[in-house]
Amino acid sequence: MTLILDGIGVSPGIAIGRALPIARGESEVYEQRIPAELIEDEVERLRQVLDRTRRQLRAMREQIPDETAADVTAFVDTHLLMLEDRVLNEGVIDIVRELGCNAEWALKLQRDRLIAVFDGMDDPYLRTRRDDVDHVVQRIQRLLLNPDADDRVAPEFEDLRGRVVVVDDLTPEDIVLLHQAKAAAFVTEYGGPLSHTAILARSLGLPAIVGLREARRLLTEDETVVVDGALGMLVAGADDALMRRFRMRRRDLLRHRRELALLRERPAISRDGESVTLELNIELEDDIRAVREVGAEGVGLYRTEFLYLNRDTPPDEEEQLAAYRKVVRALKGRPLTIRTLDLGGEKEFGTDPLASTSPNPALGLRAIRRCLRHPAIFLPQLRAILRASAYGPVRLMFPMLTAVSEVEQALAMLQLCRQSLAQEGLAFNHLMPVGCMIETPAAALAADAFAARLSFLSIGTNDLIQYTLAIDRVDDEVNYLYDPLHPAVLRLIYGTIRAGRKAGVPVAMCGEMAGDPRYTRLLLGFGLRDFSTRAGTLPEVKRIVNQTHIGEIRPQVMRMLRARDPDDIAALLEQINNGVVDKLAYPD
């Protein structure tokens, strides 16, 4: 009998293998009172386990082959850093001492506190940080509960050739091990598409499905299963005809991947000779390695708020300069677009006294509004960005604008910084381009006014869509309304591109829409020539650019702009894409 299980496909690819359900038996943690005279012994036991956890992670870090993608090592580094964090070591020790309880219980209490903070965040990316906390805590907890455990990082993951691992949840480190053990694919019962585990599976090319509840109960060891990581579907007991279809699909997918890899060194040029710039969005210094890996032309969006998170005080000018300079140098002459702080609402740092208390943070004192209100935060960043511009082609970009007066205030502050740097004899590029993001309907409709004052614009569709359609981008309840093809959204995007063109000011796009291959042709037809995307999607966007004759699709694109009915818009998009969007990786 054929059994089909549906989950969330997080890493495309087809794998056919034998199921290996693994129960890793998490034990419950209970509170125990520790007599006063034994407290220091308990603290010592915890310190030893923390040391052992650190050793395990370092050993695993060393096992990662050099050629592995940057984000893989970055995850392990993040976990190592978390282990060094006071909150997870001295913080837990303080609880043991204060409550006179066992280390396991103290760790659980600290974990619950941290998770509550992360759960309070709206940003889906930041919420995935919660998984990191959980993964590190789990690792420590396992060693506390089971001191005789094998010191190999995960002995159950050894030689997994031809196996489809079925498990409750996996840490990013587990994924590296699965990859090394040559597992064919994995499915987990929990987890979401934005989790680090999912991101990692994608960068290692390991087909994966998450959220397949009950998978371990429903599958038997060694039965043959097919995992389709794009469709999020697992099939057990497939008949011969179905197996043949999956094998064909697998062959096509592999061929497609090889074609994408070949594109890396080639420029993005449409069939009618239009040159297109493809850049990357980055968040951490380490992301920079991906620029070379995918052959990007620069960084179209560096989200600097990540420098401010997970700490109590903001980084000062020197620390910021060091971080920006490192990225500029690593880019070796490719442009770097540094976005000023987009804090507020969902992204807050430590115990920031300026943290927004707005009842509706997305509409509150966020991003540029917050920076303009608090020069003590803004000026050091502006100075650091200016100083970084002495080391290579840096562009500065302001987020979340609605009024031109905000640009004028921000530019005035930037001018103050230029003057003070000049007086201090510190180097910077006097001609550093300054632009802004178009992320609100107000900014899109008044794009001409922004273009008149700035050197470039960049459309942030993540926010533009949320503000245009009045839906919180991270509220699951209204997710169904999140629609990049909504006529209002299309008109705002087109209007912004046109306003930029009229003013002779380049317009880029750095929201998720820019990296979604389904919209590449549409955006090319609108006149967009500058895309900034996540690393994973850039090669596919390039492939589509190279296969597009923009002049030929433009009439249909313009019809899309005039269409009112969502079905008509969808049908026109289908015609425009005309089979060029990879159906294997993006099934609709």
Q: Nearer to Mg ion by C-beta: 361 or 460?
A: 460
Instruction: Return the range that interacts with ligand PEP (CB under 6 A); candidates 26-34, 321-329, 423-431, 456-464.
Output: 456-464
Q: Which two tokens stand for residue 40?
A: 């220091």
460 lies in the site for ligand PEP, by CB under 6 A: yes
- By CB under 6 A, tell whether 297 contacts ligand PEP: no
Nearest to 529, CA basis, from 291, 294, 332, 273: 273
Residue 127 tokens, joined = 């919420």
Distance CA 112, CA 137 (A): 10
If the CB atoms of residues 125 and 586 are measured against Mg ion, the closer one turns out to be: 125
Rounded-to-integer distance, Cα 546 and Cα 268, Å: 6
Q: According to CB under 6 A, which residues from 299 to 338 bind ligand PEP? A: 301, 303
**Cβ–Cβ under 8 Å, residues 489 and 464:** yes
Whole-number minimum distance, CB 300 to Mg ion, in Å? 13
Helix segments in 485-549, DSSP class H: 487-503, 520-526, 538-546
Q: How far is the CB of 123 from ligand PEP (least distance, A)?
A: 8
- The number of beta carbons lying within 10 Å of the beta carbon of residue 332 is 9
For the record, the structure tokens of 530 come out as 């500058």
C-alpha span between 161 and 164 (Å, rounded)? 9
Is 22 in contact with 154 (CB distance < 8 Å)?
no
Q: Is 510 among the residues known to form the active site?
A: yes
Least distance from ligand PEP to the Cβ atom of residue 339, Å: 8
User: Does 346 help bind Mg ion (rule: CB under 5 A)?
Assistant: no
- 155 in helix, strand or coil? coil
Among 463, 512, 516, 530, binds Mg ion (CB under 5 A): 463
Are the C-beta atoms of 453 and 419 separated by less than 8 Å?
Answer: no
| Partner whose binding site includes residue 303, from Mg ion, ligand PEP, none (CB under 5 to 8 Å by kind) | ligand PEP
Per-residue contact string for residues 424-443; x = within reach of Mg ion by CB under 5 A = ---------------x----
- Partner from Mg ion, ligand PEP, none binding residue 510, C-beta < 5-8 Å depending on class: ligand PEP
Which is closer to ligand PEP, CB of 46 or CB of 508? 508
H-assigned helices in 273-403: 289-294, 317-331, 367-373, 375-388
Distance of alpha carbon 85 from alpha carbon 102, whole angstroms: 20
Residue nearest Mg ion, Cβ-based: 463
Residue 511 interacts with which of ligand PEP, Mg ion, none, CB < 5 to 8 Å by class? ligand PEP
H or E stretch including 93?
helix 90-99
β-pair type (3-6, 233-236): antiparallel
Q: What x-and-dash track marks residues 239-278 binding ligand PEP by CB under 6 A?
A: ----------------------------------------
Q: Determine if 389 is a binding residue for ligand PEP (CB under 6 A).
A: no
User: Does residue 438 contact residue 400 with C-beta atoms inside 8 Å?
Assistant: no
**Minimum distance of ligand PEP from residue 111's CB (angstroms):** 28
| Identified binder of ligand PEP from the candidate list 104, 279, 439, 582, rule CB under 6 A | 439
Interface residue with Mg ion, options 392, 460, 517, 525 (CB under 5 A): 460
Say whether 534 sits in a helix, a strand or coil: coil
Closest to ligand PEP by CB, 93 or 510: 510
Per CB under 6 A, which region of 31-39, 219-227, 370-378, 460-468 contacts ligand PEP? 460-468
Structure tokens given for 112: 């619950």
Query: Which residues are within 8 A (CB) of 363 and not within 5 positions of it... i.e. 6 or more apart?
Result: none
Task: Check binding of 462 to ligand PEP (CB under 6 A).
Answer: yes
> Rule CB under 6 A: is residue 463 a binding residue for ligand PEP?
yes
Q: Which of 511, 515, 517, 539 binds ligand PEP (CB under 6 A)?
A: 511
Query: Can 196 be counted among the known catalytic residues?
Result: yes
Q: What is the radius of gyration, based on Cα positions, of the chain?
A: 25
Triad 475, 196, 536: Cα angle to 5°: 95
State the binding partner of 174 from ligand PEP, Mg ion, none, CB within 5 to 8 A by kind: none
Q: What are phi and psi of 492, to 5 degrees?
A: -65, -40
* Nearest CB to ligand PEP, comparing residues 462 and 468: 462
Q: How many residues bind Mg ion (CB under 5 A)?
A: 3
- Contact flag: residue 537 with ligand PEP (CB under 6 A): no
Catalytic residue among 196, 371, 417, 436: 196
* Binding flag, residue 298, ligand PEP (CB under 6 A): no
Instruction: Give me the least distance between CB of 77 and ligand PEP, in Å please.
Output: 22
Q: Vertex 218, ends 213 and 222: CA angle to 5°? A: 120
**Spatial separation of the C-alpha atoms in residues 466 and 457, rounded to whole Å:** 19
Among 10, 331, 510, 581, binds ligand PEP (CB under 6 A): 510
Nearer to ligand PEP (CB atom), residue 226 or residue 401: 401
Q: For residue 466, which of 551, 363, 357 has the smallest C-alpha distance? A: 363
Closer residue to ligand PEP, CB minimum distance, 104 or 342: 342
| 317, 323, 328, 332 alpha-carbon torsion, rounded to 10° | 150
User: Exposure of 409 by Cβ count < 10 A (0-12 exposed, 13-18 middle, 19+ buried)?
Assistant: middle
Of the candidates 270, 461, 537, 548, which one interacts with ligand PEP according to CB under 6 A? 461
Choice between 125 and 190, CB closer to ligand PEP: 125
Contact 524, 553 (CB under 8 A): yes
342 binds ligand PEP (CB under 6 A): yes
Least distance from C-beta 511 to Mg ion, angstroms? 7
Catalytic residue positions? 196, 510
Q: Which residues bind ligand PEP (CB under 6 A)?
A: 301, 303, 342, 439, 460-463, 510-511
Q: Which residues bind Mg ion (CB under 5 A)?
A: 439, 460, 463
